[in-house]
Amino acid sequence: GEDVEQSLFLSVREGDSSVINCTYTDSSSTYLYWYKQEPGAGLQLLTYIFSNMDMKQDQRLTVLLNKKDKHLSLRIADTQTGDSAIYFCAETRMDSSYKLIFGSGTRLLVRP
């Protein structure tokens, strides 16, 4: 979506860290989410962060939020070939909390 932007493609070597970036425009965003989509499948919720937090860590995943710059990132430590997928950033807003605004997705390719 035009209000949530992501880079289209990222390629990393197995074992390296991956960082997927996302920018959003609406300052009323409440929750920000990362979803993973494997080929031919639906979206799997990976993690989320509330807009008053700066960082959230969950095993190999670290989410960083810079609210001033409206920038969200997802870091995957020790990236594995099974992490190859499309990663979508999404936000909800105070004025429409039931809707998700999605980015266009970042395709992550993990090379052996």
Partner 1 sequence: EADIYQTPRYLVIGTGKKITLECSQTMGHDKMYWYQQDPGMELHLIHYSYGVNSTEKGDLSSESTVSRIRTEHFPLTLESARPSHTSQYLCASSGAGSGNQPQHFGDGTRLSIL
**Total residues in contact with partner 1, by rule CB under 8 A:** 23
Do the Cβ atoms of 28 and 93 come closer than 8 Å?
Answer: yes
Please tell me the number of Cα atoms within 13 Å of 62 on its side-chain side. 11
Query: Does residue 98 touch partner 1 according to CB under 8 A?
Result: yes
For residue 24, what are the contacts with CB-CB under 8 A and spacing of at least 6?
Answer: 3, 4, 5, 32, 70, 72, 89, 91, 101
Query: Does residue 100 touch partner 1 according to CB under 8 A?
Result: yes
Query: Does residue 105 touch partner 1 according to CB under 8 A?
Result: yes
Helices and strands, counts by H and E, the chain: 0, 11
Query: Does residue 28 touch partner 1 according to CB under 8 A?
Result: no
- Minimum distance between the CB of residue 105 and partner 1, rounded to whole angstroms? 6
Nearer residue to partner 1 within complex by CB, 35 or 78: 35
Query: Does residue 45 touch partner 1 according to CB under 8 A?
Result: yes
Q: Which of 17, 27, 44, 57 contacts partner 1 by CB under 8 A?
A: 44
